[in-house]
Chains A and B, each alone.
Chain A
């Protein structure tokens, strides 16, 4: 259909894609890191070891900069459904709207209630209460991710609804919420947040060890981080494979795009089992202009059999096919990053087994440390490319097989859409640039090793409702007297 690729529809997709891509820079860190902060705090409370406390307070500073950016970009997301995709919001309202309502009520407000206590409550509430607040921030942000993945998973595999009077009315809440895509998509996304946060820890630790600042402290952190990664990274690859098989079953067009798989059968009538390592796809012609293929790998991956049939693009009408370039290469990038990170986790733990995991010896291995710093950025790219694969692979549908994207687009002109896009480019790049710049500033400053630990004599601990005992700007006034 010609409406599919008209400028207003493409621009509305770009509008939404941009704000989503910018929002997903922040939330995975919040979700993953809040658990890690809770573990640091619990380790401090259990062992009484001060260094866990120092690390907690240091990463908490980075966490809150990140959290602010997440809130700033997140409020937009919730309104953008109605603004940019009004008819979509109306049609999916009975299910999707309810789920977003569930999210704001059970997760968003829950998180907001405890984040203030977690960040600003030090010394104002008891240690136990504070750890409880941190735990609740972690739980609520994970809950939030769950609801979002319920909603998005349902767009990929819409089950449990019937289209009546122009609305998707729910016939079975259970199957709609636990839709096939969500059941594997949520673990995949949630593990991604943990993996991202762990590599964030590892990268910052590696940087400090490399600079020989607080090197022993950060080596202490690096050990459990790498140990957790040796579990998380292969698990993520395994779940990713499961998700691929799920997509092959429920969203064959998306899988065909991800794999550049155009022909279900070979000219001789046998199933096309070849997996494309790289390819130059030509969607209009319905084939790859060039590709490097490995036979049987695709069937092994998607059906776990030697000669299983994997539905190709030629099975679908030309106007039901998504773009191939983006899902194909974005998917490959994500998978490569997943394997690279797994190798990094292996390498780190191998060093530890050989007794190399001391600050002194690690510094003699700058390549490992530098690659670890580099690995801090890769999960971000993996999250981006993974989400792009998911969203572009679903096209031209907004609700797979039921509602096409152009049917959901709001009544807007090209001018309004362009103003939105340009404005958000300016504001969200400002947020991104600012937050990452201030990350570097906080990291360069390093952890505060001097101020007294909360709850010990001389610290700014006081009763509930106590004021700010240590005003940051007290110093300039004192200088006047000198």
Chain B
């Protein structure tokens, strides 16, 4: 029996790491797309907005799909976490999804629209903003954990019910997610998205293009805002999260190295950006995401949802995790490969004259 527990724990940790990888890929890729959408609100004509859309035309769908993959992995590997957490996050996810719906359809509708062109241009930008804001709120709310109880989710006790008293369900209210910290992480996500989006726009447009110039200025501003936001978030987290105490515990040296890595990446990002080495700046921005998310993941260990679900309590039974591992792991490099090929095909810089309908 001990053997099975060890296998279960190893497989659970494996999927926990892969889940972290999927989230990082999603945030780096779609964070830039959402941020570019937010940036498009600062532009004042529809043709420029169409150029922003065309910058991500061939890739936005695949980028967004990493979120679906992350969701699918939570459902597949950690269904107990999935069922409880998504219930808890109903309201923020609902708004984020409405944002995603608006911007997803705006891509095509904007091309074909005549009189409603302005409306769909707005829906693209505003949808991106709402999606980023509420995704950030959902993340902050998740970090704070949530109340759970056994018994039927509707609060009704029924004798001999096989589903109650074994699996704990979310038991708070629809507004449990709301807290100063979660609102702050929403704002933080907007700032981070704005930074990633403007850096991405810089890397996608010709350097003498008016959109490039505007994005370049905004990125500089966003990078200072983001630096401040990172500091505030770290201090705030340290103050309120029990698991953050380990930052100053025995392994403080490791955490210090991580902090230095983040600061170096931020410095490299800003200096590359100032020198108009746009792609390098974008990559360093991605490095910050990797370090920050990795740090967060490590801080929470062995919890997957802090103080609420541990990795092993939330994971599927060992046999089902093994099946998932055997059949799905091989696809992960394949997925990364065709996403990378796609980004490679659409790598050339464009100008503000480009329209989404170049297809």
Q: Give the interface of B toward A (CB within 8 A).
A: 47, 50-51, 54, 57-59, 61-62, 64-69, 71-73, 75-80, 82-87, 89-91, 93-94, 97-98, 100-102, 104-105, 107-109, 111-113, 152-156, 158, 161-167, 169-174, 316-317, 319-320, 323-324, 327-328, 331-332, 335, 338-339, 341-342, 344-351, 353-359
Contacts of B104 in A (CB 8 A): 68-69, 71-72, 75
On whether the beta carbons of A108 and B72 are closer than 8 Å, the reply is yes
> Can you list 15 A-B pairs, Cβ within 8 angstroms, ordered by A?
A6-B154, A71-B61, A71-B64, A79-B71, A81-B83, A82-B82, A93-B78, A97-B316, A99-B76, A101-B328, A108-B65, A116-B61, A116-B346, A419-B94, A467-B349
A468 touches B354 (CB 8 A): yes
Instruction: Give 20 new A-B contacts, CB below 8 A, not counting A170-B320, A411-B170.
Output: A6-B154, A68-B105, A68-B108, A81-B82, A90-B84, A97-B82, A101-B77, A108-B65, A125-B345, A166-B166, A169-B317, A173-B323, A411-B169, A411-B171, A427-B102, A438-B113, A466-B348, A468-B355, A471-B354, A473-B354
Tell whether, in the assembled complex, residue B68 and residue A78 are in contact, meaning their CB atoms are under 8 Å apart.
yes
- Bitwise interface map of A from 155 to 166 toward B, beta carbon under 8 Å scored 1, else 0: 000000001011
Give the residues in chain A near B82, CB-CB below 8 Å: 81-82, 89-90, 93, 97
Please indicate which of the listed interface residues A102, A110, A173, A411 has the most CB atoms of chain B within 10 Å of its own CB.
Answer: A411
Min CB gap B341→A, angstroms = 8
Instruction: Report whether A101 and B324 are in contact in the complex, using a CB–CB cutoff of 8 Å.
Output: yes
CA distance A181 to B29 in the complex (A): 39
Contact present for B320 and A98 (CB under 8 Å): yes
Q: How far is the CB of A436 from chain B (nearest CB, A)?
A: 11
Q: Is the CB of B58 within 8 A of A121?
A: yes
Main secondary structure of the interface of A (DSSP, over half): helix
**Contact between B171 and A116 (Cβ–Cβ < 8 Å)?**
no
Contact of B167 with A167 in the complex, beta carbons under 8 Å = yes
The answer to whether A94 and B320 touch (CB under 8 A), given A73-B101, A87-B83, A434-B105, is yes
A423 & B94 in contact (Cβ 8 Å cutoff): yes
| Contact across chains for A97 and B75 when beta carbons are under 8 A apart | yes
- The number of residues on chain A lying at the interface, defined by a beta carbon within 8 Å of a beta carbon of chain B, is 98
- Report the Cα distance A400→B137, complex, angstroms: 37
What is the chain A residue whose CB lies nearest that of B101? A72
* Surface stretch bound by B, among A215-223, A285-293, A401-409: A401-409
- Find out whether the CB atom of A90 lies under 8 angstroms from the CB atom of B112: no
- A76 with B101, Cβ < 8 A, contacts A82-B82, A98-B76, A403-B163 known: yes
Q: Report A-chain residues with C-beta under 8 Å of the C-beta of B108.
A: 64-65, 68, 438
Contact B161 A471 (CB under 8 A): no
Number of A-B residue pairs with CB-CB distance less than 8 Å in the complex they form: 310
By a CB distance below 8 angstroms, the chain B residues around A415 are 174
Known contacts A116-B346, A166-B167; A410 and B67 CB within 8 A of each other = no
Measured CA separation A122–B57 after assembly (Å): 13
A467 (CB) vs chain B CBs: closest residue: B348
Provide the residues of chain A in CB contact with B47, threshold 8 Å.
473, 476
Interface centre among A91, A94, A423 (most CB of B within 10 A): A94
- The interface bits of chain A over 107-142 (1 if a CB of B lies within 8 angstroms of the residue's CB, else 0) are 011101111110111101100000000000000000
B209 CB → nearest A CB, Å: 12
Question: Cβ of A468 and Cβ of B69 under 8 Å apart?
Answer: no
Task: Confirm or deny: A83 has a beta carbon within 8 angstroms of a beta carbon on chain B.
Answer: yes
Query: Quick check: A406 and B163 within 8 Å, CB to CB?
Result: no
- Asked if A431 CB lies within 8 Å of chain B CBs, one says yes
Establish whether residues A411 and B153, one from each chain, have CB atoms under 8 Å apart when the complex forms.
yes
Which A residues touch B338, using CB under 8 A?
A: 110, 113-114
Q: A75-B67, A90-B169 are in contact. Are A113 and B62 (CB under 8 A)?
A: yes
Taking CB atoms and an 8 Å cut-off, the chain A residues in 52-92 that contact chain B are 60, 64-65, 68-69, 71-76, 78-79, 81-83, 85-92
Residues of B within 8 A of A69 (CB): 104-105
**Shortest Cβ distance from residue B319 to the other chain A in the assembled complex, whole angstroms:** 7
On chain A, the residues within 8 Å of B332 by CB distance are 105
Q: Smallest Cβ distance from A49 to chain B, in angstroms?
A: 22
Judge if A420 is at the interface, Cβ distance under 8 Å: yes
A82 touches B345 (CB 8 A): no
Report if A106 contacts B (CB, 8 A). yes
- A82 near B75: Cβ-Cβ < 8 Å: yes
Q: Which chain A residues lie closer than 8 Å to B62 at the CB level? A: 109, 112-113, 115-116
Task: Say yes or no: B50 contacts A473, CB within 8 Å.
Answer: yes
Do residues B316 and A98 form an inter-chain contact, with CB atoms below 8 A?
yes
Interface string of A385-418 (1 = CB under 8 A from B): 0000000000000000001001101111101100
Question: A361 interface residue, CB < 8 Å from B?
Answer: no
- For window 2-18 of chain A, which residues contact chain B by CB distance below 8 Å? 3, 6, 8-9
- Does A103 belong to the interface (CB within 8 Å)? yes
List B contacts of A124 (CB < 8 A).
345-346
A427 to B73, CA, bound (A): 27
- Report yes or no: B86 in contact with A79, Cβ–Cβ below 8 A: yes
- Cβ of A165: which chain B residues have Cβ within 8 Å of it? 166-167
A 399-457 contacts with B by CB, 8 A: 403, 406-407, 409-413, 415-416, 419-420, 423, 427-428, 430-431, 434-435, 438, 441-442
User: B67 — which chain A residues lie within 8 A by C-beta?
Assistant: 75
CB nearest to A163 among chain B residues: B162
